[in-house]
Amino acid sequence: MNEKDFLGKSFLLADGSFLSILGNVKYLRDYPFDFENIFNPHVVREVHVKFLEAGVNVLRTNTFNSNPLRLREFNEENLFEKIILRGIEISKEVSREYGEVFIAGRIGSLGKNIDIYRREVLKDSFRYQIETFLRGGVDFFIFETITSIYEGEIILEVLKEFSYFPVIFSFTYPLEGETLLLCGSSPMDVVRIFGGDVDVLGVNCINDISKMDFILESYEMGGDYSFAAFPNGGIPDVKDGSIKYHLDNKDFLNFSKKWIEREIVIIGGCCGVSPEHIKEVNKSFSKY
């Protein structure tokens, strides 16, 4: 896949959330779902298939927590390569029967770890991930849920050590009622700092879809770049060990239509966005 392939599509429909299907809090509290690439790959396949059947043409690898520093929390940092390579294999295996499907190498934010380790240690950890994804073979990278300019700059420094490869930087703005990163930077700051260096700037993991729309509008005012949207399925409701989300399929569709009309190039979902949400957009896709 080259730059022309990646940006030559008017619109790409990406997958949603594993939790929307599995709906179990153990994947938040006990261990990352990434481990299932090794221990229960059939479950990962089933989730991918559900989204492929819903009509996606971008499948993100099940590797959000695959950074060795992230896995160190579970004393499993040595598994990062195996998790990544198996995640790529599974994605490729299940997508072969569904026509042209781009495989995105998913890399999650380090979260609180970003403040614990020295800059060079952080760079090493991202470098190990990137090298492994390139060895396994993906179509582009998506760095998700970035919460600070500092983390984005570290990732960008490492990426510049490699030959050009298509990349999405997707940021989250987690404070309720605010449209700022945890570091205090605005969407306009994000566009100004990263817009010229990455292929697509995204927003993900926002519970309030109206807030996400406002952030995307801020991105659009910041420059003539390509943007992506990955909203949550609303505010999660946790009860008896299960997680449920309540974003109506029609609401997801209506916002997606707006974004397609504004030439947002990739739409998918984060926590709680299900194959049913994606299917609604796919059914209307031919109109846009």
Residue 3 has a pLDDT of 44
| pTM for the structure as a whole | 0.94
Between CA 246 and CA 249, with CA 171 as vertex, the angle to 5 degrees is 20
Can you give the residue ranges of every domain in the chain? 3-287
Instruction: Give the whole-angstrom CA distance, residue 288 versus residue 275.
Output: 20
Instruction: Give the whole-angstrom CA distance, residue 120 versus residue 152.
Output: 14
Q: In DSSP terms, which residues pair with 243 in a beta bridge?
A: 238
Nearest to 146 by CA among 126, 167, 172, 168: 172
Instruction: Give the whole-angstrom CA distance, residue 200 versus residue 32.
Output: 27
Q: What number does CATH give the domain 3-287?
A: 3.20.20.330
Q: Are 128 and 68 in contact (CB under 8 A)?
A: yes
Q: What are phi and psi of 156, to 5 degrees?
A: -65, -40
**pLDDT tens digits in sequence order for the chain, 288 residues long:** 444 455 556 689 999 998 777 765 455 557 788 999 999 999 999 999 999 999 999 999 999 999 999 999 899 999 999 999 999 999 999 999 898 899 999 999 998 778 899 999 999 999 999 999 999 999 999 999 999 999 999 999 999 999 999 999 999 998 777 899 998 999 999 999 999 999 999 999 999 999 999 999 999 999 899 999 999 999 888 877 678 888 999 999 999 999 999 999 999 999 999 999 999 999 987 554
